[in-house]
Structure 1
Amino acid sequence: MHIGFITSEYPHPRVKHAAGIATSIKNLAMALVKKGVDVTVFVYHQDKSEVLCDGDIEIHLIQSKQFKLATWYFYRKHIQKYVNKVVNDKKINLLEAADWTGVTAFMNFKIPLIIRFHGSDAYFCKLEDRKQKFKNFIFEKLALKKAKAYVAPTTYAGLETQKIFQLDKQKIKTIHYGLQLENFENKTPKIYNKNTILYIGTIIRKKGVLELAEIFNKVIKENPKAQLILIGNDSPDIITKGRSTYQLMQNIFSDEAKEHVRYLGKIPYNEVKKHIKNAHVCVYPSFAETLGMVTIESMAMQKSVVNTSIGWAQELIDNGVNGYLVHPTNIDGYFEKILKLLNDEKLCLQIGEAARQKVETLFDIDKNAEINIDYYKSILKE
């Protein structure tokens, strides 16, 4: 079997951008290759066109192009032409693409196309209660309606997307993202930097970072030794139109809290894992995810996580057993759970151990790759 992935991001030094979608695609691609599946990745919107190898995975970078008219249409047709040629040359059996802004709208392929719900613009607009551009909705709907089947990383993301676009429920399969668990071992869970609270993700309103600033103000009042470490790219703010969401956080932090905050920006992935290992508690108060890779990465490294309580997170964490679920707007409730974990080392270790067990059960990429392969085969048989 030969699978092709169409994406705007992938973790490779020559690729312009890589975030959660990129990590989940690479994890799956590597696991598929280990099981004898050939994988080709097509990454569009790149600075130049070239073909790279990442181990046994072949990566095709597709350069951005501008056209005199309707670039949104003709660039898609350009991607289609390129992909179809490689599909023919490499005998690719099935393609997979993301739903974001409907990149495969207006594209036609001779082989089946699956769309994975990494999170459409319409999905995030619904969760954030903001208006979507009509053009984006049309593109996403066209792309989804043309796909043969769909994969959702959580049942919640699948149902919400199905309702937004009126899709056939029978065509949606829930398959969780997964981790290569051997890369997320923590053999010394009792060794960490006490009172260190870690957040990883884009510094953007929808991730609950403004609420996190309020929460940390309360933490520092009760625990003057607490430290908050923030890792991720800063982002413009969609409401105020300001250029920096981190600046908005700065405006919320108390003077005392500011002295205990370290914003590291974007750092290499190996360093991120070190920070997870060293953290006392990890916090992800997001308003909008389909699953949240950093949550399961932190759980895999036996960390106590205080997560959002919104739909998708309920499939990752059993509240009070292997983490805590609190709505981001519940500032007092969120603060109380963080403080409880900082003050109870035994509880922290117990929850961290249970978190690892949950990840081994649901988010082992080797197991989930088999589920993907079986699903791909079922689509090809139709």
Structure 2
Amino acid sequence: MHISFLTPEYPHSLSGPSGGLGTSIKNLAETLVNKNVEVSVVIYGQSQAAEFDENGIHFYFLKNQRYAIGGWYFHRRYIQKFLNQIIKQKDIDLIEATDWIGITAFIKLNCPLVIRLNGSDAYFCKLEGRPQKFKNRLFEKIALKKADSLVSVSRFTAEKTSSVFGINRKYEIIPNSIELRSFSVSNRNEKTNSILYFGTIIRKKGVLELAYIFNEVIKHKPEAELIMVGKDVKDVREHESTIELFKRILSSEALKRFSYQGAVAYEKITEYIEKASVVVLPSLAEALPMTWLEAMAMEKALVTSNIGWAKEVMVNGETGYMVNPIKHLEYADRIIQLIEDPELRSVFGKNARQKVLEEFNADVVANRNIVFYKSVLKLSGN
């Protein structure tokens, strides 16, 4: 079986920036290769074209194309032509694409197409309460209706997507996964009173709420320290740096106990997780966040949001605490409780890693995907 992934991002030194979407594809692709499944990864929108093999995966970097008019159409035709070439040349059985901006709308492939719901633009616009471009919504709906099969990383995402687009289709639910060997357990470098946020610095991740929350933490625990790691992006509402908006919310006392480390290489993030006493991930809009799985795998006590997808990852009071991020005082109280109770942190951390081991580890999830891919091929007659 030969599976090809079509994606706008992938964590590789030669490609552009990548977030949780790229990481989830990487984890699945590498585990499938270990299970003797042939894998190709096609990454579009890149600065340079490239083709090479690495870690048993065939990589194709598609250079971003510019068109005077009709770019949305001609770009897709360009991708279609390339995909159908490698389908024929490499005997690709199935292509999996993302739901983001409906990249496969108007693309006709010579093999079955699966779309994995990691959160479309329409999905996130709905969760964030902001308007969406008509073109993006149209393309996403067309792509979802045309796909041979759909799979979602969480039930919440599947149900919300169905509601947003008014599409009544069957979805397979298979979560994102994590390679546990890359996130080993070690608390020997844990720093007392250290609070960590890692991930994109963006409103939808709840970082502006975190500023208010940290102000409350500092009032009651002035020795606490907040460290933030991740790429800063321009805020969709204020059109300026999100980290600057964050700092303006902080009290003078909180600002003194705050440190922003910027974006770091993916392989370095474990060093920051290892040092944290508590990891805070107050997301307001997700599909199934990789950051949560990574922190859980390292046996860290978490305080996360309690919205939608959260109950499919966390168990409140067992793997950590789940609190609505707009409840600043309650969220701060949970952080302080964990900082002051190392025994509770240890219990939560062990429970968290066990849940990842049972439900989200790469080997288990890859097996589920293989069964799903085979069922798609059987239905298509391949």
Measured against the shorter chain, the TM-score band is over 0.9
1:320-339 alpha-carbon deviations (Å, 9 max, x no partner): 01111101111111001001
Residue equivalent to 1:220: 218
The aligned residue for residue 113 of structure 1 is 113
Give the distance between the partners of 2:315 and 2:151, measured in 1 at CA: 23
- Give me the whole-angstrom Cα distance separating, in 2, the residues matched to 1:320 and 1:162: 31
Alignment of 1:188-203 (within 5 A): 188-189=186-187, 191-203=189-201
Counterpart pick for 1:273 among 270, 282, 287: 270
Give CA-to-partner distance per residue, 1:235-277, whole Å, 9 cap, x none: 11111122x0111011101111111111011011222111101
**Contact conserved, 1:118 with 1:153, CA < 8 A, in 2?**
yes
1:93 partner letter: D
Cα distance in 1 for residues equivalent to 2:314 and 2:165: 28
**Would the aligned equivalents of 1:189 and 1:349 in 2 still touch at CA under 8 Å?**
no
Give the number of aligned pairs. Answer: 379
3-state secondary structure, aligned to 1:197 = strand
CA distance in structure 2 between the aligned counterparts of 1:210 and 1:158, rounded to whole angstroms? 27
Aligned match of 1:233 = 231
1:265 partner SS? coil
Q: Which residue of 1 aligns with 2:152?
A: 152
Alignment partner, residue 65 of structure 1? 65
1:190 Cα deviation (Å)?
A: 5.9
Is 1:184 aligned with 2:175?
A: no
- Give a deviation string over 1:211-247, Cα, whole Å, max 9, x none: 10010011111111111110111111111122x0111
> Residue 248 of structure 1 aligns with which residue?
245
Q: What is the letter of the counterpart of residue 178 of structure 2?
A: L
Q: TM-score, normalised by structure 1?
A: 0.98
What stretches of structure 1 of length at least 5 have no aligned partner? Answer: none
Identity of aligned residues (%): 44
The alpha carbon displacement at 1:164 in A equals 1.4
Alignment check: 8 A CA contact 1:285 1:306 kept: yes
Shifted more, 159-168 versus 34-43: the winner is: 159-168
Please list every run of at least 4 consecutive aligned residues from structure 1 whose deviation after the TM superposition is greater than 4 angstroms.
Answer: none
Which amino acid is the alignment partner of residue 86 of structure 2? V
CA contact (8 A) 1:322 1:352 kept: yes
5 Å-filtered alignment, 1:267-346, equals: 267-346=264-343
- The letter of the residue matching 1:375 is F
1:4-27 CA distance string (max 9 Å, x none):
000000111111121100000000
The Cα shift of 1:168 comes to 3.2
RMSD, matched Cα: 0.9
Q: Does the 8 Å contact 1:321/1:354 carry over to 2?
A: yes
CA contact (8 A) 1:190 1:349 kept: no
Give the C-alpha shift of residue 148 in structure 1: 0.8
TM-fit CA distance, 1:189: 3.2
- Aligned match for 2:202, one of 174, 180, 204: 204
Q: Write out per-residue CA displacement over residues 130-156 of structure 1, whole angstroms, 9 at most, x where no aligned residue.
A: 111111100100111110111111111
CA distance in 2, matches of 1:157, 1:48: 33
1:257-268, aligned counterparts within 5 Å?
A: 257-268=254-265
Segments of 5+ residues of structure 2 without an aligned counterpart are none
1:349-360 correspondence runs (5 A): 349-360=346-357
Q: Match of 2:193, as an amino acid?
A: N
Q: Secondary structure at the match of 2:261?
A: strand
Letter in 1 for 2:165: F
Deviations 1:57-114 (CA, angstroms, capped at 9, x unpaired): 0110001111221011101100110111011100000000000100111100011100
The amino acid of 2:34's aligned partner reads: K
1:92-111 alignment runs, 5 A limit: 92-111=92-111
The match for 2:91 is 91
Partners of 1:221 and 1:19 in 2: how far apart?
33
CA distance in 2, matches of 1:306, 1:162: 29
Which has the larger displacement, 30-39 or 160-169? 160-169
Q: TM-score, normalised to structure 2's length? A: 0.98
Deviations 1:322-363 (A, max 9, x none): 111101111111001001001111111111111111111110
